[in-house]
Structure 1
Amino acid sequence: MNSELVVCGSCSAANRVPTERLAAGPKCGRCGRQLFGNGPISADSALFSRLTGTGSLPVLVDFWASWCGPCQMMAPAFEAASRILEPDVVLAKVDTEAVQDVAARYAIRSIPTLVLFRGGREVARQSGASSERAIVQWTRAALAKG
């Protein structure tokens, strides 16, 4: 039986979930919160590392800042994209002002910037505000490439 390692956005616990049960509303074994359907995860440095390094699902990260107009405009589209892409992709948001070490590590120079991680490595990057449809299409195309 195939399974995925899903990191809880609330308590950072790693949960092994059978692949065929990902869409069935799995809950965290530690805190009991649903693993999907809560919208994008707001990630600090530690949670970002757990999501991208421990979890086995691809992670799409929106690097943003509260003062950024295009970031604010894209936020509802990113939220809507999470409802389409989950549970195949985990969506997270990293505030570049609050989590400067992660933004610096990935050389985020303009925001919003979407970065797709798979297996702990960056596999695709796109800067600028996008619509829900564009986020979903870009993510699926990047995952299909490998």
Structure 2
Amino acid sequence: MADLIVVCPSCTTSNRVPQTRLGAGGTCGRCGNALFEGHPITLGSLNFNAHAMKSDLPLLVDFWATWCGPCRQMTPAFEAAAASLEPLIRLGKVDTEAELNIASRYDIRSIPTLVMLHKGREIARQSGAMPTNAIVAWARQAAAGL
């Protein structure tokens, strides 16, 4: 099996991890923090491209805003989905109010919207609040062909 590039959620360093050892977790070779923390990471202009384009892991992004009721309702479900989907899929959240450029790049028109990315390319999209089991099932199906 091949090695995968996994971007550190703390310092955005690219780490080479044997595919067979993804489940073992691992730590960043630069900062020593865990590569997988079991919860979504906050994505912004400083770390979005590293996770969306450099990592070999698919990235499931929740585009949301603090004023959005359905977004706040889905937050615990998205958080719980991270525990089921990591380490095969990285989960991240983009606040569309704070990160207008990222939201614009992906043409986000309604929130919450989930977008699955792989190597910078959108592979699936789903709008509307979802429970944990639906998020997990949708994400697994979207990433199945990778």
- Asked if Structure 1 and Structure 2 have the same fold, meaning a TM-score greater than 0.5 normalized by the shorter chain, the answer is yes
Question: Which residue is equivalent to 1:30?
Answer: 30
Instruction: Give the whole-Å Cα distance in 2 for the aligned partners of 1:127 and 1:8.
Output: 28
Residues matched between the structures, number: 146
Structure 2, unpaired ranges of 5+:
none
Corresponding residue SS for 1:16 = strand
Structure 1, unpaired ranges of 5+:
none
Question: Which residue is equivalent to 1:55?
Answer: 55
Instruction: Give the whole-Å Cα distance in 2 for the aligned partners of 1:61 and 1:103.
Output: 11
Say what the alpha-carbon RMSD is for the aligned residues: 1.1
Alpha-carbon shift at residue 7 of structure 1 (Å) = 0.6
Corresponding residue SS for 2:50 = helix
Corresponding residue SS for 2:12 = coil
Instruction: Give the whole-Å Cα distance in 1 for the aligned partners of 2:8 and 2:92.
Output: 12
Residues 1:138 and 1:17: Cα distance change in structure 2 (over 3 Å):
same
Provide TM-score, normalisation by structure 2: 0.96
Instruction: Give the whole-Å Cα distance in 2 for the aligned partners of 1:134 and 1:66.
Output: 22
Alpha-carbon shift at residue 84 of structure 1 (Å) = 0.3
Letter of the 1:48 partner, please give it: F
Corresponding residue SS for 1:67 = coil
Matched, 1:10 2:16: no
Corresponding residue SS for 2:144 = helix
Deviations 1:20-72 (A, max 9, x none): 11111211111111011241010112311110110011000000011111111
